[in-house]
Amino acid sequence: MPRNGVGVYAPPAGQPAVAGTTILATTHNTLVNDLSAAITASIAVDGQTPAQANLPMGGYKHTGCAAAIVRTDYATAGQVQDGSLVALTGVAGTANAITATAPVSMSAYAAGQRFSFVVGTTNTGSATINLNAIGAKTIKKYATQDIAAGDLLAGSVAEVIYDGTYFQLLGKPSGEPAFCAYRSASTQTVSAGAATKAQLNSEEFDTDAAFDSSTNYRFAPLVAGYYAISGQITGYASGSLTKVSAAIRKNGSAVRTASCNTAFNANSSSVNVSGVIYLNGSTDYVELWGLVSGSGTLGFLVGQDATFLQGHYARRG
């Protein structure tokens, strides 16, 4: 037996030879065969023999290792520290259809893969990324939301992780959600004395695509925290005004209100309302509601300085 189970080589019986005695062929051949078996069981320095079991290092390390170039290679500490195993190279394609090369000859996506890359061109809408020509995958944020224009800024470093279906953009792309929405195009006609949701159908800005300016006219951010919200209703009457009110509603209930009941003898007047409101980042939303009383045709006037709702993330909850 070439080795004793703990790595120690013991020669076979008949060794060592005794001076002045005849060395028998059987004794000599047994030793040669045993040495041959021991050498064969050793790892050759030129890489001819692969390991056949786990190799305990006994507290020592492999030194002078080359950088890994395929997925089954060792990673060196330098590669880990420098991020070269997760850094994408050759970033190309278009602003919304990115292509890049992933390291160590990756040939398939797997949940949990994490990569970083320097953005080449600022995106203008939803985007995909295709690594090593494996196939394009949509980039999402906040689990299910397509990224918005400007979420990938040219020259910035983006980090993504594959969830098994999409590449999720890590972190909050805009940092802090902010928006400003207003009524445009035409005066919104309302009934006298009836609380009415302001249909804010235009946006000055909406960093996280959290304001719905086409259907529900509400701000529903996907980042939990306290938000500074302010709004204005500019009431209009073709006759004369007697009352204008404004309210911020959270999940359908008024949480901040303001009104003016003076007889104006005028066609229009504005009322402002504001507050710091906690939103849970999932189901909470805020809307702007108004009320106008007076004579003639009544409504909310249009314009960024007339009827609007705006807000921004103030601090975490």
Rounded to an integer, what distance in angstroms lies between the CA atom of residue 30 and that of residue 11?
Answer: 9
* pTM summary value: 0.56
Rounded to an integer, what distance in angstroms lies between the CA atom of residue 314 and that of residue 34?
Answer: 78
Is residue 166 a contact partner of residue 196, using CB atoms and an 8 Å limit? no
Q: What is the pLDDT at residue 95? A: 95
Q: What is the pLDDT at residue 264? A: 56
Q: Which domain does 125 fall in, by range? A: 86-169
Residue 61 lies in a domain: no
Lowest mean pLDDT across 17-26, 167-176, 284-293: 167-176
| 182 and 293 belong to one structural domain | yes
Last residue of a domain, one of 148, 169, 190: 169
| Predicted confidence (pLDDT) per residue in 65-77, tens digit | 999 999 888 899 9
| 165 and 182 belong to one structural domain | no
- Copy the structure tokens of residue 57: 């290092």
- Tell me what the mean pLDDT of segment 154-169 comes to: 95
Residue 68 lies in a domain: no
φ, ψ dihedrals at 172, nearest 5°? -95, 110
Rounded to an integer, what distance in angstroms lies between the CA atom of residue 1 and that of residue 10?
Answer: 8
| Predicted confidence (pLDDT) per residue in 176-232, tens digit | 899 999 999 999 999 999 999 999 999 999 988 899 999 999 999 988 889 999 999
Residue 119 lies in a domain: yes
- Tokens 């850094």 locate to 87
Rounded to an integer, what distance in angstroms lies between the CA atom of residue 209 and that of residue 18?
Answer: 91
| Predicted confidence (pLDDT) per residue in 87-102, tens digit | 999 999 999 999 999 9
Residue 71 lies in a domain: no
* Count of the separate structural domains present in the chain: 3
Last residue of a domain, one of 122, 137, 169: 169
Last residue of a domain, one of 169, 193, 217: 169
The string of DSSP letters for 135-182 reads -EEEEEETTTEEPPTTSS-TTSEEEEEE-SSSEEEPS-TTSS-EEEEE
Residue 91 lies in a domain: yes
Residue, of 97 and 1, whose pLDDT is higher: 97
| 149 and 265 belong to one structural domain | no
Q: What is the pLDDT at residue 106? A: 94
- Tokens 């500019």 locate to 234
| 211 and 144 belong to one structural domain | no
Mean pLDDT of the chain: 91
- Tell me what the mean pLDDT of segment 100-115 comes to: 96
Strands 241-250 and 286-294: antiparallel
